[in-house]
Structure 1
Amino acid sequence: MKKKFGLLLAIIVALFMTVVPLGTQHAQAADNSLEKIQKKGVLVMGTSPDYPPYEFQATVNGKSTVVGMDVQIGKKVAKDLGVKLKIKSMSFDSLLVALQTGKIDMIISGMNPTPARRKNVAFTHVYYQGGYDIVINKTDKAKYKNKDSFKGGTLGAQTGTTQYNAIKKQTTNTKSKGMTSQSDLILALQSHKLDGVAMEKPSAEAYVSNNKQLAAIPSNFNMSSDATSSAIAFRKGSTSLVNKVNKTVDQIKKENLVKKDYLPAAGKYLKTNTVNTSMGHYWKAFATGIEYTLIITVCSVFFGFIIGILLALARMAKGNVFKTALRWLATAYVEFIRGTPMMVQVMFVYFGLGLFVNLPALTSGIIAISLNSGAYVAEYIRGGINSVNIGQTEAARSLGMSNGETMRYVVLPQALKNIWPSLGNEFITLIKDSSIVSIIGVTELIYQSNIVRSDTYRGVAPIVVIMVLYFIMTFTASRILNYFERRMQHD
């Protein structure tokens, strides 16, 4: 029996050893990642441009542009592949999701090729080996020496980074605070919400050299070489593409292009950013933010109103099985949308639906906010319809009007008059809620303010500007809505 079992096991192992190479060869043969990019003619690079000198925003020829050593590397990679480079900006902790869902083709954002990340994406050879510092307020330089000096204090780092994980694992009696943006962390540091910010040495040096109120100290984190190095990330299985890009990375390292050319070029942009840091100098960025904020708001209100009417009518449907099912579906939709955060809905539409349909960030933002608004508008409309006296409906029907005509010409106009203040409030709320789409890289007002903060290293001034701009927009909208409300009441 043992001999038979041993023979059977040997046969299974032999078959397995035969099939695996064939499967591997088939997978390699099926890998067309390089051919696909070259055929498309465009290489989409995802990055989080708040990490100087790796990637950051600078004003070039009057236009805000993503620059830095990682951008230079991206251009070199695209040139060697014979394609154009397209840069897509988003928060750092959204990059891996964007890569896996096909929103971007590669990540170059000072990303460390840690073992955990290697399970989900494919990395090239390392293009830069660095280390970590902790940025502190200069007035605290005598108080803090390294990570062990922050007992009882709070250390911050960019969410999803290796230094953020290091704070949690390698410090004792120290609180960790994660934020999506480096500029937010520096602002929190200067407003004494944080005692220190851990970041890579080149970034720390960039912030300190451009802000006399800051200083950098050694972190003394115990990190592996993977955790202190940077590599380019591609989707898992992109073997041919990774192998091709590795040749470019090897050339960059051989010719020492990072230290020789890319870092000095980034330094020039950093100096240019601090020549004129007045908010008036960045009026175009704020104007663009206002434009996109209003586009998102107006479109979302329009589509949200249409969705709201359909949902309200569906929720009030009575009669046969079909109408009952429609009512239950509408009720489930409204309750689900109202019971989940809008930020999650935005990310689901952009990344989740992105697995099937490659929607632009602006379109995804409008769809998500419209769907969200529709659920709330449905309840406003349903309440407005219920507020119309039943006698109005009975009178209309007695005159021979159909159900549809009664609803269109009698009930809905009166309902709209009753719910106008609520609809106006929804419009004003959407002006402010549109800021959520900045997480997927839509260049609305919050996104543009982050650009200005990254450009100027000024944390408070851009926030004050956008507060004033939001107030102007909401106040103006409120006055216009009140005017029409008075007209309706007069009629």
Structure 2
Amino acid sequence: MGLLQNYFSTFLQGFGYTLLSSVVALVGSMLLGTLFAIMQVLPTRWMQIVGNIYVQIFRNIPLLIITLFLYLAVAKVVKMNGFTAGTIALTLYTSAFIAETVRAGILSVDSGQMEGARANGLKFGQAMRYIVLPQAFRVALPSLGNQFINLVKNSSILAFVGGLDLMYQGNMVAANSFDTFTAYIIVGIFYLVLTLPLSYYMQYLEQHLKAKA
């Protein structure tokens, strides 16, 4: 593993950028996804339409196209570097899938839960926050875990716009060392360092919630 020793700081820098992008996108996509999931189940028709349009647009456009649009077009109006453009694109793209996952979780909760909460004086937002969403997230947890892992892997999109992430640094190392095979093996190992603990934690959390139910 002489390549790892020679370029360890380079791989570590890429790992840091990938981790930062993934965390920011995870938080952002959860917030956006939950918001648009709620909009899709609101009784207000126009809000349902807005939520559906958002989800359909970002679910059905490739992540690469969204990233390049932000980096090449939007960046001319609002200055942003490759890391920012890639992270925003990753957030928007993932939030659409999370919205569908959370919406399915909300719809799985018996409608009587919401009706009972409203009958006891809770407003719609309060009933959603304290009664419906906790149950919806419990149901949606396995699918959310898959989306989180996909998000980490999809962060490699930053490499296409000079986002300094793990894949970008791997490409640089491969080009400089002419040892492409080893460079990408190391990149894959670094991704496993991120995704395996996340996968095991989501499994643990799912089992823990089942035991409490």
State the identity as a percent.
32
Q: Name the CA distance, whole Å, in 1 between partners of 2:147 and 2:18.
A: 15
- The residue type equivalent to 1:412 in the other structure is L
The answer for the alignment partner of 1:264 in structure 2 is none
Structure showing greater Rg: 1
- Paired residues for 1:92-171 under 5 Å: none
| Bigger helix share | 2
Query: Residue 369 of structure 1: CA displacement?
Result: 0.7
Q: Name the CA distance, whole Å, in 2 between partners of 1:344 and 1:423.
A: 24
Alignment equivalent of 2:13, drawn from 278, 283, 288: 288
Query: Residue 296 of structure 1: CA displacement?
Result: 0.9
Q: Name the CA distance, whole Å, in 2 between partners of 1:348 and 1:387.
A: 36
Q: Name the CA distance, whole Å, in 1 between partners of 2:169 and 2:137.
A: 36
- The residue type equivalent to 1:449 in the other structure is G
Query: Residue 445 of structure 1: CA displacement?
Result: 0.9
- The residue type equivalent to 1:404 in the other structure is G
- The residue type equivalent to 1:308 in the other structure is G
Query: Residue 329 of structure 1: CA displacement?
Result: 2.1
Q: Name the CA distance, whole Å, in 2 between partners of 1:490 and 1:293.
A: 34
- Does structure 1 retain, via aligned residues, the 8 Å contact 2:170–2:183? yes
Say whether 1:299 aligns with 2:24. Answer: yes
- Does structure 2 retain, via aligned residues, the 8 Å contact 1:286–1:449? yes
Say whether 1:372 aligns with 2:97. Answer: no
Quote the RMSD (CA, aligned, Å).
1.5
The answer for the alignment partner of 2:199 in structure 1 is 478
Query: Residue 277 of structure 1: CA displacement?
Result: 5.7
Q: Deviations over 1:325-373 (max 9, x none)?
A: 2221221221111111100000111111012111122111111111111
Q: Name the CA distance, whole Å, in 1 between partners of 2:118 and 2:51.
A: 27
Structure with the larger RCO, 1 or 2 (CA within 8 Å, 6+ apart): 2
| Bigger strand share | 1
- Does structure 2 retain, via aligned residues, the 8 Å contact 1:277–1:456? no
- The residue type equivalent to 1:391 in the other structure is G
The answer for the alignment partner of 1:440 in structure 2 is 161
Q: Deviations over 1:3-48 (max 9, x none)?
A: xxxxxxxxxxxxxxxxxxxxxxxxxxxxxxxxxxxxxxxxxxxxxx
List runs of 5+ in structure 2 lacking aligned partners: none
The answer for the alignment partner of 2:151 in structure 1 is 430
Q: Name the CA distance, whole Å, in 1 between partners of 2:55 and 2:116.
A: 32
- Paired residues for 1:217-296 under 5 Å: 278-296=3-21
List runs of 5+ in structure 1 lacking aligned partners: 1-275
Say whether 1:314 aligns with 2:39. Answer: yes
Q: Deviations over 1:69-114 (max 9, x none)?
A: xxxxxxxxxxxxxxxxxxxxxxxxxxxxxxxxxxxxxxxxxxxxxx
TM-score by length of 1: 0.42
The answer for the alignment partner of 1:357 in structure 2 is 78
The answer for the alignment partner of 1:69 in structure 2 is none
State how many pairs are aligned: 212
Q: Name the CA distance, whole Å, in 1 between partners of 2:120 and 2:57.
A: 40
Q: Name the CA distance, whole Å, in 2 between partners of 1:402 and 1:338.
A: 31
Q: Name the CA distance, whole Å, in 1 between partners of 2:3 and 2:20.
A: 27
Query: Residue 437 of structure 1: CA displacement?
Result: 1.2
- Does structure 2 retain, via aligned residues, the 8 Å contact 1:424–1:481? yes
